[in-house]
Structure 1
Amino acid sequence: MKLDFLQTYKDLGPQFYQEVSPTPVSRPEWIVRNEALAAELNLDLREFGSEESLAVFSGNRALKESSMIAMAYAGHQFGHFVPQLGDGRAILLGELRDGSGQLRDIQLKGAGRTAFSRQGDGRSALGPVIREYILSEWMNRLGVPSTRALAALRTGDSVIRESLLPGGIFVRVASSHIRIGTFEYFRYRGEKENLKKLLDYCVWRHLPELQDSANLALDFLREVAARQAQLVATWMSLGFIHGVMNTDNTSISGETIDYGPCAFLDEFDASKVFSSIDRHARYAFGNQASIAQWNLSCLAEALSPLASTKAEEFREQVEEVLKDFELLFRREWLRLLRSKLGLIEEREKDEALIFSLFEWMQKKKPDFNNFFRSLSEIDSLERAEPEWDRDWLKSWQERRDSQAAGLEASKNLMKNSNPVYIPRNHLVERAIQEAVEEGTNLEFKRLLKLSEKPYDAQEEFADYRLPPKPEEVVQQTFCGT
């Protein structure tokens, strides 16, 4: 199989990675291949499903052993700094150029131990592979910047977790795997030259418009902050909870990365936490914007040796960037909520209307996704659910119907902003359990099919719109890796 991998990240030098070879598996087997994404990456689709391809993406055949690397990085985990983390179970095969000429990383997750594995086995249980494939592809279809899923495989081997579980490998595609924690790694080590190399590389790869900047570190921080503001606002407009927003799980490119204990809200609750390891609710749904801002302050500190101004002036400039993040996030979140409510024109009182809605939602806890989708489908207040706030509905209807664009344009905006379906937690768990316990992939593939048109009602998937039954409610999610 011809794979012309580039190695631009490896060219930065050995301080940025450790060379590694995947650990072979006994009986690799495709679960699913993403042929549409493969085509974007200019892969030969005839070869993509071949035995040779299976050997490469399972780690059983190395194209160039020395070219495979595990990336070094540090990170703040739940607010506590860990100076060395790195890819403990992920191996970067290299980069490919997609159809638009952009570099995309190709990475194997669960392909064996690396120099950063610590006490881990470098493997992945099958469940997290299924979860990340489903969630990353759904997020992409919902319009959220995200890493992508190229393939999922069974290894034929078992991994030891709380019990013996089938193993899997996830083939991930990303704009890059550079994290805030990558900058923290070199800052902690006092390696200013490598910090500068990393910054220049990120600008070359992600933000070439900044190459002539007179204050590169600050302008880079500002652009990363803008991407994070947009990303987190989009998460929250869809009811998504990342669950583990450590700085090593925050991508410089502005993509959602590392789908561990993530989840979607069923009933609305701003304080909702699903992650079993988030014991103090640090990463609760309503905290996500403030955590992103905190993570950006960590990036600012890591970039400080590269500032073009004196230390005090740089600190003041950083404070402005962090304040601007709040404004950018709020502006983007309000824009998205206006769309969900069919408000085409921006008006001064919209913010009060939206916040009064969320006050009611926090008290009554309606199903988040179904509330907004149902709102787009009612023709009159008489068809609204009896428990909905009638005073708010009247105010909203008067505001919506007063627009020059007309009611039909408003309804179309709402239907294009509120999905009929989301990858509900109990549906994802059902797909995982079926794959792990029964060895079948029917539910997994049904969820992938449904993801192709999440904004269109589909009769065969009518039940997938429903909230979970009491016995189906997912109370906690787990990394499971």
Structure 2
Amino acid sequence: MQAISTLTFGQRFLALPPAFYRRVQPQPLSQPHLVALNASLCETLGILPATLEQPDALALLSGNRLAHDMQPLAAMYAGHQFGVYVPQLGDGRAILLGDMLDTEGRCWEWQLKGAGLTPFSRMGDGRAVLRSTIREYLCSEAMHGLGIPTTRALAMIGSPDPVYRERPETAAVLTRLAESFVRFGSFEVFYHRGQHDEIRILADFLIRHHFPACAEQAQPYAALFSEIVTRTASLIAQWQAVGFCHGVMNTDNMSVLGLTLDYGPFGFMDGFNAAHVCNHSDHSGRYAYNQQPQVGLWNLHCLASAFLPLVSEAQLLEALSGYREQYSQHWQGLMRNKLGLAVPDEGDDALIEALLLAMHAHQTDYTVFFRRLADFDSAGDNHALRDMFLDRSLFDDWAARYTARLQLETRPAAERRSAMLAVNPKYILRNYLAEQAIQAAQQGDFSQIASLHHCLQHPFDEQPQYQAYAAEPPAWAQEISVSCSS
């Protein structure tokens, strides 16, 4: 285990031509203080957590100083935002410090989010506020706890410096890590500019560092695109299975590695609503829960256009044609697991659809229902589940079908229950829990952030000390509004 001051940083992104980035320096914050520290990620990185609480580390994580071997930069990309192509975006408030190897030899890129202006900030100030930084810190780690691919959060630094959004707020900087922050829009920008050499250079970069198996294929670039399609289908299936809504699935927010990227107006559903829109800026419902799978495909079509200089149209269309089947297989497998069905049956799709229709009709709490379903008793009255439906007969009809379906299973009931508890989380980052942690933090109390983070690292465990976090949301939770500024 090392102190952060002894770490060695590289900057492999600098191997790309200058067209891909701009050199930039973080802007200092006054009076930086530690808000949250991810000790478990420190262990993965081989860093002594206590060293991140030292003044020199706080200075580095707030952007007030750099390690001697850091060469910070902001990456350029474009993207389709709400279906409209924007020709240049880029890291407007994120600065890539460099990369380092963890204890297992995996390379992590370090970003500071909220560390000041970059050439891509456009009309923004390059800063992040404490409110949105808390949300990203907690949700990225909650997703990791759920086993869903995501960027990671190492530390959060606060400052009394004012930042103006709808109202004056205080500044914060998030240190976030990923194996890569390359996005769909990283290809799009060069395609629309007619800079096809850069598309090839970026594809080669990704194959070399992240998709080495593609280099062994007869058509490496076609293999690369197919892998991105597969990872995207898998990621969105995992979102759907836990009731997660991203909120802003623009192509500049889509990772080519299949990571959950850029947490803004996200939300885990409380009461199940297939058409739920978590982003109050999304007036048309483009990124509603039930639209996410199709939006994933739409975004892949945008990326396919950018791959045309490298891959034939026929090969791209073939890869895209497999998306729906790949998504369906991933999603169906996850939903069968949630229902405790180990042996696939041709009637499973209808059984799942009937359940979701019933839950939608009654706004049944998605997370609580599936957790309770592990205790389903084929011979009992299942009152804890029945009480989640205003029309009990609707549940009873489905329960009869489910009971009959369970007769096809060969596992003992106790084994099935354990398997269901291992895939149906008891704890998710509900918006009201995040809001409570934010309100406390704005008063200088960071304890709820620490408690939530600790709980969400183990979302499938009982954790009696955090039982309150598993409760259905209070009525006032419906009044919480999150938008693109969140």
Q: CA deviation at 1:457?
A: 2.1
Partner of residue 409, structure 1? 415
Q: CA deviation at 1:445?
A: 1.6
Partner of residue 232, structure 1? 236
Contact 2:74 2:90 (8 Å CA) reproduced: yes
AA at the equivalent of 2:474 = K
What do you get for the CA RMSD once the two structures are aligned? 1.5
Partner of residue 451, structure 2? 446
1:467 aligned to 2:466? no
Structure 2 residue runs without a partner (length 5+): none
Contact 1:19 1:70 (8 Å CA) reproduced: yes
Secondary structure, counterpart of 1:229 in structure 2: helix
- Counterpart Cα distance in 2 of 1:370 and 1:404: 26
Number of residues paired by the alignment? 474
Q: CA deviation at 1:458?
A: 2.8
4+ aligned runs moved over 4 Å, structure 1? none
1:365 aligned to 2:370? no
Partner of residue 382, structure 2? 383
- Counterpart Cα distance in 1 of 2:190 and 2:335: 39
Q: CA deviation at 1:475?
A: 4.6
AA at the equivalent of 2:280 = S
* 2:462 counterpart (441, 454, 457): 457
Q: CA deviation at 1:39?
A: 2.2
Q: CA deviation at 1:107?
A: 0.3
Q: CA deviation at 1:405?
A: 2.0
AA at the equivalent of 1:383 = N
Equivalence map 1:79-228=2 (5 Å): 79-228=83-232
- Counterpart Cα distance in 2 of 1:429 and 1:218: 44
AA at the equivalent of 1:296 = L
Contact 2:33 2:157 (8 Å CA) reproduced: yes
- Counterpart Cα distance in 1 of 2:413 and 2:248: 40
Q: CA deviation at 1:470?
A: 1.5
Contact 2:10 2:70 (8 Å CA) reproduced: no
1:295 aligned to 2:299? yes
* 1:399 counterpart (399, 402, 405): 405
Partner of residue 372, structure 2? 374
- Counterpart Cα distance in 2 of 1:163 and 1:358: 39
Partner of residue 15, structure 1? 19
AA at the equivalent of 1:429 = E
Partner of residue 282, structure 2? 278
Q: CA deviation at 1:170?
A: 0.4
Q: For 1:322-361, what per-residue CA distance to the aligned partner results, in whole angstroms no more than 9, with x for missing partners?
A: 2211001011100000000000111111112111212222
Secondary structure, counterpart of 1:305 in structure 2: coil
AA at the equivalent of 1:347 = D
The more displaced of 148-157 and 450-459 is 450-459
Secondary structure, counterpart of 1:182 in structure 2: helix
Partner of residue 426, structure 2? 420
* 1:70 counterpart (67, 71, 74): 74
Contact 2:238 2:334 (8 Å CA) reproduced: yes
Q: For 1:53-103, what per-residue CA distance to the aligned partner results, in whole angstroms no more than 9, with x for missing partners?
A: 111111111224871000000000000001110000110001111222221
Contact 1:21 1:62 (8 Å CA) reproduced: no
AA at the equivalent of 2:243 = G
AA at the equivalent of 1:391 = D
- Counterpart Cα distance in 2 of 1:187 and 1:2: 41
- Counterpart Cα distance in 2 of 1:221 and 1:460: 45
Partner of residue 476, structure 1? 481
Secondary structure, counterpart of 2:137 in structure 1: helix
Partner of residue 311, structure 1? none
AA at the equivalent of 1:40 = T
Equivalence map 1:428-443=2 (5 Å): 428-436=434-442, 438-443=443-448
Structure 1 residue runs without a partner (length 5+): 308-313
Contact 2:33 2:159 (8 Å CA) reproduced: yes
AA at the equivalent of 1:322 = L
